[in-house]
Structure 1
């Protein structure tokens, strides 16, 4: 496979393990895109996915989402869970399958799982997904039936862990990589922990940028149709509709962040104060507490027009120092 190149853009991949990220500093450090962990298996959603998505988009980075697979599950169920959690978030880079653990299964089983997952994702999104794995795992467990899909390969140098190899080596299944994760001990301004660093093939990166909106897709909704004001502004507009228990996605995330800005945290003691894009009991309770103070005749835990107007008023007062 090919060597790294000074023309390839730097891409990071992140999850809740990186904690709170200062995305403005990340962008200034020269990072051009990010893959964000969305899901794992059939039940786990990364608790920082919405925050990372919103902030990365706000500072102008291209983003994609990856799914950490459990290959003993039904691959179609894992795809369905990923798409369910994706909601109205928009990806620039194609979805990615992270397949790096065999769970005691052989190469044929692992590759069949991977092929089914990738085909199901492509069928549902209209976009050819990426396949991620470590070099030695791919060499052992990936058969040629996976070679149709672009490869994101990881391999680290034991003698120079930070700078990494110039080339990951050769695999009979692929002649080139689309992304190369050359270290898991990268340091980027704005991130307090180690972070994975990747080079993306420059031609692929340019293809993604020039393919808007045909490549950039969400489930059943185009990028242009779903453009949201909150990713274009550091002060996003509050949702205009009604939100209540069971809702999830961008609008809930914006509401939660607004409530937290005036000290009505969904969960003060949880990671990120419970700001997770899910309108559950904690968010309903935060809305009810806000109503009890500012709208005492309307304490039902449901976000509607009156809550929106009052919350905007309170936020403006806080900014003005009143």
Structure 2
């Protein structure tokens, strides 16, 4: 059976809500000499996808956007100049198609899937050969689809920053979304101690099951920063993975030790809903390392997959729920409900 000449894909004729998603059948592109044609097997959703749908994302997106950045799939065909891939290979595409080293440039930003360029919520898509990485052999397509954004962001934060995480460090992870759970798993695999926060006891139970040494319900313990200091004997945590932005940044600053690190990777608490935090004084007088990061590079993806393969049980992606392709809107709605622990995936 030959490869179809068309592909079914979702797109936004107009942004404003994920309810605006429309499923269309369009001509399938053939791979150029340096490209690879991939059949999408699974797509995982990000909070970013909701921001884009609701016109809340700070960067411009292409018209009639095909959404989503994270996929896993099977190589169907390769361009004549491609030597690194063959039909049947299992691959993920990097979030930034052209980020081949750790330098962020306007050009790498312009290659962000599901925003600056069309995304992966489609049956077939071509990718530059250099943007693909092999899926660890023990992972399913659904599990592997969670790696390009959530996992790589967590890996970049903990192991590619000012100093790599080391055994014995204490890490605070906020919530039980994709990035936070991957950060928990990578920290545990590295021999660190994890303090997990959430507003749900059920979600905290899940964090405990996946290796968190300490848990804090920030609804019943709103001064969770004081609890972190109590747990660490007044010293503070070595690292904080900050996913909520200004809504929790002050408490993150309060809870980290002198000379500690805060990796800012999200704004789940809202981009402009809370006043900004003054970081200048504590950064100077407490010698804090505050780092913003935006996913990661292809080489980091390769290195992360080595960690995942070497720690298969500890780092196995946590997939909360899988939706069929025909129910993509329901998957977006479930993500928006924040009822999930781990990742929400669409299976093709």
Please, what TM-score do these two structures have when normalized by structure 1?
Answer: 0.29
Larger Rg: 1
Please, what TM-score do these two structures have when normalized by structure 2?
Answer: 0.27
Between Structure 1 and Structure 2, which shows a larger proportion of helix residues?
A: 1
Between Structure 1 and Structure 2, which shows a larger proportion of strand residues?
A: 2
